[in-house]
Amino acid sequence: MNEELNDALIALGLTSTQSLVYSTLLASGLLTGYRVSQKINRPTANTYKALESLESMGLVYREDGKKRYYKALPYDRMIDMAEKDFKERKENALTLLSNISAQAEDARVYSLNSTKQIDEQVRDLLRRAKKIVVMDVFPSLLNRFLPEIRKAAANVPTVIKVYKPIRVKGAKVFLETRIGTALNRWDGQILTLIIDAKECVILHLSQDCKSVNQAIWSRSGFLAQTIHDGILSEITVDAIRRQLTNQQTNEQIIRTLDRFRQFHDASKSRLHSPKRMTSG
């Protein structure tokens, strides 16, 4: 039996012997338990035990007669059953976990050591944002998480500092004025993400985004609020610098300051809804 197939069936919840029995029946059609044990080179008693368990799971049919023959359930129906079973177990686990009392705020800083871990954490934060999203993101990581960023921008106020021209519907997008200097400062791709001024992720990946130089995640409100305000302050200063270069009036600059002040306090209801925000 193909080892990769065996591993795949085990991942669906079968034991090693059950996966061997099922795949052998699937490939051979009707077989007696004795013939199955010969084909998989396992003791007859163990083979019959696996057949009984597969039959109770609905994955094997038994034909009674002078000799008992067994036949495997078609693989597409087996996959459907496995999917349904996983969904039921998932819903049960969610129900049980939701009954656990919420833990006290965890202000510690945790390392993220794999790109898979990073992908899951960033996407989870963007899904859970309730009041505001603030990001500072380099081009490759912007492309990587763009679908989730767009979904977040459709639901909550979203402010993004970027290093290439792009429009994100519903978000305020600000292009770094000194792109070359900023990108050359780091050997790799950077992303800073804060949601609701309460939780943050900071990433430094390799240029191809395949390895992690350093990455952290924290629910420290102090850390998240500080970074949240820092990014917004950088964007504000950059906007005012442009206005001064263009010789705009004091009144125009004051309006810009008022416009940005709304984002600095993510906990107040005076934050505008996404519908009132214009695309960057």
What pLDDT does 64 receive?
75
Query: 89, 124, 149: which is the final residue of a domain?
Result: 89
- Predicted confidence band of residue 102 (pLDDT cuts 50, 70, 90): low
The answer to whether residue 250 is domain-embedded is yes
Residues 71 and 135 in one domain: no
Residues 82 and 135 in one domain: no
The answer to whether residue 99 is domain-embedded is no
Residues 113 and 233 in one domain: yes
Residues 57 and 144 in one domain: no
For 9-20, how does the pLDDT look when each residue is reduced to its tens digit (9 = 90+)? 888 889 999 999
Residues 144 and 175 in one domain: yes
Q: Which residues of 229-252 are buried (b: 16+ CB within 10 A; e: fewer)?
A: bebbeebbebbbeebeeeeeeeee
The answer to whether residue 172 is domain-embedded is yes
Residues 166 and 200 in one domain: yes
Look at residues 225, 196, 175, 173 and name the one whose alpha carbon lies nearest to residue 126. 196
CATH code of the domain containing 27:
1.10.10.10
Rg for the chain, CA atoms, rounded: 28
Q: Mean pLDDT for the chain?
A: 85
For 215-246, how does the pLDDT look when each residue is reduced to its tens digit (9 = 90+)? 999 999 899 989 998 898 888 887 777 777 77
The answer to whether residue 97 is domain-embedded is no
Range of 190's domain?
Answer: 109-276
Please give the tally of structural domains in the chain: 2
Sign of the Cα pseudo-torsion (81, 84, 88, 93, in order): positive
Residues 76 and 23 in one domain: yes
Round to whole Å and give the CA distance between 205 and 111: 13
- This prediction's pTM: 0.60
For 146-191, how does the pLDDT look when each residue is reduced to its tens digit (9 = 90+)? 999 999 999 999 999 999 999 999 998 988 877 877 788 888 999 9
